[in-house]
Amino acid sequence: MQSFKSVVSFILPYWSPILLALALGVAAAGFRAFELEDSKRKRMEVKRQKELLSLARKISAYAQTVHQRFLTGDVVVSEHDLADHLRKRPEEVVTALNLLLNQRKVQRAPLGGYWKLNV
């Protein structure tokens, strides 16, 4: 019985922050549950754009790494090999490559499904 009282007396000062954190968690979950479709769609689109930009930066970094390893020649990669290397779906990699194509950081190779990465 004494150990129970000591545990309760130890936890008692921390109850208010625990309850506050619990209330904030419930409020955040409720906000997400009752979020409007339009705002949810916008939030998901912003998240997707951030992930796409992050993937494009990873592809550029990969191109620089390969070019430093093999100084002569161009860096040409397959969409599927790049997707396997980055552990992403090929569709996501193609979308990121198209973004880099607009920025002139990559070029389409003559062989279908291959890209030349400009360094």
User: Can you tell me the distance from the alpha carbon of 117 to that of 114, in angstroms, rounded to the nearest whole number?
Assistant: 10
DSSP code of 110?
S
pLDDT the model gives residue 80: 93
Q: List Cβ<8 Å contacts ≥24 apart for 27-30.
A: none
H or E element: which one contains 114?
A: strand 114-117
Burial string for 64-82 (b: 16+ CB within 10 Å, else e) reads eebbeeeeeeebebbbeeb
pLDDT the model gives residue 8: 65
pLDDT the model gives residue 73: 78
Mean pLDDT by groups of 10 residues along the chain of 119 residues: 70 72 83 78 92 94 88 87 93 94 91 88
Q: What's the whole-model pTM score?
A: 0.67
Count of beta carbons in the 10 Å neighbourhood of residue 54:
11
pLDDT the model gives residue 81: 92
pLDDT the model gives residue 2: 67
